[in-house]
Amino acid sequence: MKRLMQCLRFDMLAGRRFLSASGLLGCLMAAFFLAGSWVRTSAYHLEWSSFTLGDNALLLLGGTLPPAASDQTPTLFPIGWLLLFVSSMAAPVLYAGRSSRGSFAANAIIRGGARAPWLIAKCLWSIIASLVFWLAFFTVLSGLTLCVSGDLSPLASRSIEVIGLARNDDLTQGPYALGAFLLIAPAVSTLLLVPLVLLGILANELLAFLVGIGCLLASVMSITGFVPGEYLMATRTNSFLAHGIAPVQALVYSLTLSIVSLLIGTIVFRGKNLMGRSETHD
């Protein structure tokens, strides 16, 4: 435990710029995409100034219905949802990958005294960076909602038309309670980052990003229960669909996947040659 804390303290100091960047990115994503969603809402002749926190969150975190259900109602590709979760990957994957090369990584491991604490500390730092992103995101989202409508209710009903849900027969009766999803979604997103962070360390950041984006795209086009991106869509939850995903189910899935990935990553990392990789940390 002492070695782990030493490694984590080292990462908190070395990665402080990435932590700040993660928080700033979370603020920008919330402000930019919410403003864009309000502009799009105007085309539907809806009064977005009366949207609740749940309505505004649904605009950004809704995703899409399963393909079989969305056939009944044409839906737009959720580009905002995709870019939001790609942005949440940025700081954790980049710092973990950049700081795991060459003499910088070797010296850090020597200070920590073992490879396993060093690797676990990287994952813990990435979890902290992701939580900073989501804390900033929801702070801005709540602040803008408070300033515009003053209604911080997690219930969503008025914004479903904007993301193409209003005339779909597969939906349960509204209004839709997003409270549980909004609490668990940041945790699920954070835990699902662990395999990508490990991939960035063991291979490279580009591959980690491509895998992450691939999982998000696959979740839009299919429903299997095993593609991680499915657990990050509000519209796939049991708040909207009678047989949708329960937030607790998403939490258990993501926790299991992160733990299994960490165990496998630790075993593989024991024989990894760090000095043979180009050092890019600054």
**CA dist 28 to 34, 96, 115, 138, 224, Å?**
10, 22, 36, 11, 32
Is the CA virtual torsion 65, 68, 72, 73 positive or negative? positive
Residue 227 has a pLDDT of: 84
Q: Which has more pLDDT, 183 or 68?
A: 183
Tens of pLDDT, residues 90-121:
999 999 888 776 655 666 665 656 778 888 99
State residue 191's pLDDT score: 94
Q: Which of 203, 162, 175 is nearest to 64 (CA)?
A: 162
Relative to beta strand 176-177, strand 155-156 is antiparallel
Q: Name the band, by pLDDT with cuts 50, 70 and 90, for residue 228.
A: confident
Which is higher by pLDDT, 55 or 4?
Answer: 55
The model's pLDDT over 160-219, given as tens digits with 9 standing for 90+, comes to: 878 777 666 677 887 899 999 999 999 999 999 999 999 998 888 999 999 999 999 988
Using CA atoms, how far apart are residues 75 and 125, in angstroms rounded to an integer? Answer: 37
Peptide bond into 175 cis (omega under 30): yes
The mean pLDDT of the chain is: 86
Higher pLDDT, 17 or 45: 17
Q: Is the pLDDT of residue 63 over 50?
A: yes
- 71 pLDDT exceeds 90? no
Q: Read off φ and ψ for residue 177, nearest 5 degrees.
A: -85, 115
Residues 60-71 have a mean pLDDT of 75
Q: What is the mean pLDDT of residues 257-275?
A: 83
Element (H, E) at 155: strand 155-156
Structure confidence at residue 155 (pLDDT): 94
Considering the entire predicted model, what is its pTM? Answer: 0.90
DSSP symbol at 164: T
